[in-house]
Amino acid sequence: MKFAGHQHYGELVSDLFDAQAPGYDEDLFHPLVAGTLIDGLSPEPALLVDVATGTGAAAFAALRLAPASVLAVDFSPAMIERAREKAAQLDPEGRIRWQVATAVPLPVGDGEADAVVCASALHFLGATALAEWRRVLRPGGRLAFSISLASRLRREGAMGELMPKDLRIPATVEEAAALATDAGFHRATARVVTSDRGDRIRQVFAVFAEA
């Protein structure tokens, strides 16, 4: 995942997510959320940017939109390396470009992206990420992101300490959509994505909007 901040903070975040990379794909909630976000985007974007790609769930799902190219970025070298290993089978044509990079700023020029997707990382990136997504999207470009419900997000432990405090964590679908609207996006909608596999219920808001 990608994070703004000084060098020491960035190294700490990178180390934490590098450590998660080997078992990251064991959590099946990640591809469920990623697929939901991708299904809300328009087909055939020239450039789709997957922010905080992790091991690539959203980037791989995006291939069904038949994009000209996908740029998948993450702050964690281990996450990107794992995604590249999977790409040999899941992206044999090499349409995805993997890059270790920050989320703020993104390695994308103003208005160059047709679509931006970010699966369950905004609570680590902070409010500045929304402005950055708007910068890189062309007018009319599509945004899809997910974020935890306020009732389910725990700002505890090492991970909790890394979460910026400038972002309001939404409690309702209206508040989730307002994150996009307040950042200057249009026609924002939101819905709850739920997984109840086993004895654990997982939920996030999926938000869709237009630049």
Taking only the tens place, the pLDDT of each residue in 62-76 is: 999 999 999 999 999
Cα-atom radius of gyration of the chain, to the nearest Å? 16
What would the 3-class secondary structure string for the chain be?
CCCCCCHHHHHHHHHHHHHHHHHHHHCCHHHHHHHHHHHCCCCCCCEEEEECCCCCHHHHHHHHHCCCEEEEEECCHHHHHHHHHHHHHHCCCCCEEEEECCCCCCCCCCCCEEEEEECCCHHHHCCHHHHHHHHHEEEEEEEEEEEECCCCCCCCHHHHHCCCCCCCCCCCHHHHHHHHHHCCCEEEEEEEEEECCCCCCEEEEEEEEEC
- pLDDT above 50 for 6: no
Q: Tell me which of 17-21, 61-65, 77-81 is least confident.
A: 17-21
Q: In this structure, what token pair is assigned to residue 208?
A: 């869709």
Q: Once rounded to an integer, what is the mean pLDDT over residues 26-40?
A: 91
- Name the pTM for this structure: 0.88
Q: Once rounded to an integer, what is the mean pLDDT over residues 184-196?
A: 96
SS3 of the chain: helix, strand, coil, percent, to 5 = 40, 25, 35
- pLDDT above 70 for 17: no
Q: What is the pLDDT of residue 41?
A: 97
Q: Once rounded to an integer, what is the mean pLDDT over residues 171-182?
A: 98
- pLDDT above 60 for 3: no
3-class secondary structure, 199: coil
- In angstroms, the CA 66 to CA 43 distance is 7
- pLDDT above 60 for 4: no
Q: What is the pLDDT of residue 77?
A: 93
Q: Once rounded to an integer, what is the mean pLDDT over residues 134-157?
A: 89
pLDDT tens-place string over residues 80-136? 999 999 999 999 999 999 999 999 999 999 999 999 999 989 998 999 999 999 999
Fold assignment, 7-210: Rossmann fold (3.40.50)
Q: What is the pLDDT of residue 196?
A: 82
Nearest to 123 by CA among 184, 76, 164: 164
- pLDDT above 60 for 197: yes
Q: Tell me which of 6-10, 75-79, 124-128, 183-187 is least confident.
A: 6-10
Q: Once rounded to an integer, what is the mean pLDDT over residues 183-207?
A: 91
The answer to whether 164 and 125 have CB atoms below 8 angstroms apart is: yes
Residue boundaries of the structural domains of the chain: 7-210
